[in-house]
Amino acid sequence: MAILLTGGTGKTSVRIARLLQDAKIPFVLASRRGEAAAPSGMPAVKFDWLDSSTFATPFQHEFPGDEGVSAIYLVAPEAADPASPMIAFVDYAVKEHGVNRFVLMAGSSAEPGGRLLGQVWQHLNDIGVEYCVLRPTWFMENFSEGIHCATVRDEGKIYTACGDGKISFVSASDIAAVAFRPLTDEKPHNTDYRVLGPELLTHDEIAAKLSSHLGREITHVNLIGEQRIQRLMRVGLPKHYAKFITSLEVSAGNGDENKMNDAVERVTGRPPRTFDALAQQCKAVWE
Ligand SMILES: NC(=O)c1ccc[n+]([C@@H]2O[C@H](COP(=O)([O-])OP(=O)(O)OC[C@H]3O[C@@H](n4cnc5c(N)ncnc54)[C@H](OP(=O)(O)O)[C@@H]3O)[C@@H](O)[C@H]2O)c1
């Protein structure tokens, strides 16, 4: 058994890699920057979803014990049409390398046959491979490593178009722990998991928690849609992605993320991590 993790320098893949390391299961991380951006000591290769000449690279990696790739974790590129290259790569991996198991990182609203990653999900169903689709809600690490990190640190502000929508923020560590199971269990899961955190919080409540952990005032600034799109574009997001993020935030403001479940505990055997635990552990990144 050997696992190929695309999105190899990203929040969830690096955490899955740590779990694989602990379990002594061979893996390779794959992303455009490859080894240059992977955690030191972790095997990594250069791979670009948008350049099919790189598709062979992860399979040229020499795994201990001469293992072949048994399962692939699929993290989409930030592209207007991520499904086409992902489907092409899945077909390549199945036909040329006999891979028969895929775990797809999708979003809250993904559904088979739907837009964007829904097309990849549908394709996995159509070709009859073993699969699992993860549909996590919003990551807690958006505050510590992602989109909100710099503004919390530099301005004491969180900008969104979410209003007072409640979200069961989930940790990338819990998403990784869920992903680990369908990647490595002998029995395929062949299902999707809506991966949710332990409590429903608004962004005002997140700001209050950060204020209390950091001992300084952090506030949530609610923007209307167009203001939010402009702000995201000013920090470098392409227009299609700025619009996409804003539409997700507006949907969350309308209550679309106001849901709870026990998926993390059901799949991993332990409850999901709280936002307070993450804020306490990550304090230094906002100082
Ligand atoms: N953040 C959230 O709240 C949230 C919620 C639900 C779902 N999601 C989904 O989660 C996924 C992101 O997962 P993540 O947070 O683990 O990753 P991440 O931290 O966003 O990192 C993205 C990864 O993709 C790689 N990448 C980007 N473009 C690429 C390309 N053209 N070819 C190859 N690799 C490429 C990047 O590495 P290089 O730069 O080295 O290529 C990086 O390793 C997205 O599909 C997102 O929609 C996120």
Q: Is the CB of 139 under 6 A from ligand 1?
A: yes
Tokens describing residue 89:
């790569």
Q: How far is the CA of 278 from the centre of ligand 1 (A)?
A: 20
Percent of the chain clearing pLDDT 90 (strictly above): 97
Rounded (5°) CA angle 111-112-115: 70
DSSP result, the chain: --EEEESTTSHHHHHHHHHHHHTT--EEEEESSGGGTSPTTS-EEE--TT-GGGTTHHHHS--GGGPPP-EEEE---SSS--HHHHHHHHHHHHHHH---EEEEE--TT--TTSSTHHHHHHHHHHHT-EEEEE----BTHHHHTSTTHHHHHHHSEEEES-TT--B--B-HHHHHHHHHHHHH-SS---EEE----SS-B-HHHHHHHHHHHHTS--EEEE--HHHHHHHHHHTT--HHHHHHHHHHHHHHHTTTT-----HHHHHHSSPPPPHHHHHHHHGGGG-
pLDDT digit string (tens) for 198-212?
999 999 999 999 999
Q: Is the CB of 9 under 6 A from ligand 1?
A: yes
pLDDT > 90? residue 80: no
Closest ligand 1 atom to the C-alpha of 33? 40
What's the one-letter identity of residue 199?
A: E
Q: What is the mean pLDDT of residues 229-245?
A: 94
Q: How far is the CA of 250 from the centre of ligand 1 (A)?
A: 21
Instruction: Supply the mean pLDDT for the chain.
Output: 97
Closest ligand 1 atom to the C-alpha of 12? 16
* Domains of the chain with CATH codes: 3-135 (3.40.50.720), 138-170+197-258+273-287 (3.90.25.10)
Q: Is the CB of 243 under 6 A from ligand 1?
A: no
Q: Is the CB of 58 under 6 A from ligand 1?
A: no
Identify the band that residue 221 occupies on the pLDDT scale cut at 50, 70 and 90.
Answer: very high
Percent of the chain clearing pLDDT 70 (strictly above): 100
Neighbour tally for 54: CB within 10 Å = 17
Distant-in-sequence contacts of 93-98, Cβ < 8 A, 24+ apart = 93/55, 93/59, 93/69, 94/127, 94/129, 96/56, 96/59, 97/59, 97/68, 97/69, 98/68
Residue of 16, 57, 75 with the most ligand 1 atoms within 8 Å of its CB, for mutation: 75
pLDDT digit string (tens) for 146-205?
999 999 999 999 999 999 999 999 999 999 999 999 999 999 999 999 999 999 999 999
- Residue 188 confidence (pLDDT): 98
Q: Is the CB of 32 under 6 A from ligand 1?
A: yes
Contacts of 117 (CB under 8 A, 6+ apart): 76, 82, 83, 86, 104, 106, 107, 110
User: In this structure, which residue's CA is closest to atom 3 in ligand 1?
Assistant: 138
- Residue 114 confidence (pLDDT): 96
User: In this structure, which residue's CA is closest to atom 10 in ligand 1?
Assistant: 105
Q: What is the mean pLDDT of residues 3-23?
A: 98
Distance, CA of 109 to CA of 101 (rounded, Å)? 23
Closest ligand 1 atom to the C-alpha of 175? 16
- Residue 68 confidence (pLDDT): 96
pLDDT > 90? residue 251: yes
pLDDT > 90? residue 266: yes
- Residue 144 confidence (pLDDT): 98
- Residue 187 confidence (pLDDT): 98
Q: Is the CB of 82 under 6 A from ligand 1?
A: no
Identify the band that residue 78 occupies on the pLDDT scale cut at 50, 70 and 90.
Answer: confident
pLDDT digit string (tens) for 89-147?
999 999 999 999 999 999 988 999 999 999 999 999 999 999 999 999 999 999 999 99
